[in-house]
Amino acid sequence: MTAEHTRLAAALRELRAGAGLSLAALAERTAYSKSSWERYLNGKSLPPRQAVRELCRLANEPDGRLLALWEIAESHWSGRAVAPAPAPPTDESPRPHPQESPPLAGTWRRRLGGSRLLVVLASAYTVIVGGVAALLFLLLPDSQAQEDEPLPASVPFSLAPQCHGAACEGRDPMRLICGLGPETLASYRTATGAHVELRHSKKCGASWARTWGTEVGDRLDVTAGGPTHGVRIRTKDDAAAFVYTGMAEVRPGSTVRACFRPASADGERECFEARVGGAATTTRPPSSPVASGSPD
């Protein structure tokens, strides 16, 4: 179980306890069984997005914060978090072996390069995460125990953003906790039916684009006047979930632009933009969409 999944499970337990909802009540008032809710609340499996919304509804709680936590957890559960941006070049002498291009979104391969220090750090991280998971497993009720017993109190986790401004450039908004409670600058429905949103985190001083309802091979790019960060839909799993671009540094008044290119050969590139600090907009394509911007 990832740290992001642990945060989500803890928040769900806290919400359920505060609302005084038993597992039997949850099963009766939702489409999910008692055993399913026990797994979701104890972190044994990732709940569906709709289950999170149902719990928020029953607890009379706005679902924005919990859905943001779910998106972060789902991104890491499925391994679709985007790769970090490469470090900026320095004035040091060139290395004997130039670094290869970073992997595209959806992969998290890291080259250890035989570094003994990185191996030690990775081992230590594994031990720590394993220890936390084991502790949670011991603290959480057994599946044979009374399902309506109170679940343990949530464990506090830091939800503070992990970057700001230029430090966020090209990096994953979910992993850096910038995707928690962002504002939507603009929404767009493409000619193929895909949804695209421009998102902005004031705390992180960054914006990014996300898409869903896509097809394998679709591509989404975002820029705020600087580098362009893109992501391609590579698998059916990608197409069935939210997929995010890397972040772009922004300031109040910055213009953020997203461009969607469908996988079909005859598909046209569709772009839209929004200003940070401006009113949110929702846009639909014209009946005969016209390509916007030059092709990649």
* 212-236: pLDDT as tens digits: 889 999 999 999 999 999 999 998 8
The answer to whether domain 165-283 has CATH 3.10.100 is no
Residue that wins the pLDDT comparison between 21 and 126: 21
What is the CATH number that goes with domain 1-84+102-159?
1.10.260.40
* Alpha-carbon span 124 to 133, nearest angstrom: 14
Instruction: Tell me the mean pLDDT in the region 118-146.
Output: 44
Residue ranges of domains in the chain: 1-84+102-159, 165-283
- Rg (the chain; Cα; Å): 21
> Which residue is it, tokens 């489409």?
31
Burial class (CB in 10 A: 0-12, 13-18, 19+), 83: buried
Are 221 and 230 in contact by the 8 Å Cβ rule? The answer is yes
Q: In one letter, which amino acid is 123? A: S
Are 146 and 221 in contact by the 8 Å Cβ rule? The answer is no
> Which of 5, 35, 16 shows the shortest CA–CA distance to 150?
16
pLDDT score of 73 = 82
Counting other chains too, the contacts that 161-165 makes at CB distance below 8 Å and 24 or more residues apart are 161/201, 161/203, 161/204, 163/204, 163/206, 164/203, 164/204, 164/205, 164/206, 165/204, 165/205, 165/206, 165/249
The chain-wide mean pLDDT, for the chain, equals 75
- DSSP code for 188: E
The yes-or-no verdict on residue 58 having pLDDT over 60 is yes
* Alpha-carbon span 234 to 215, nearest angstrom: 9
pLDDT score of 122 = 53
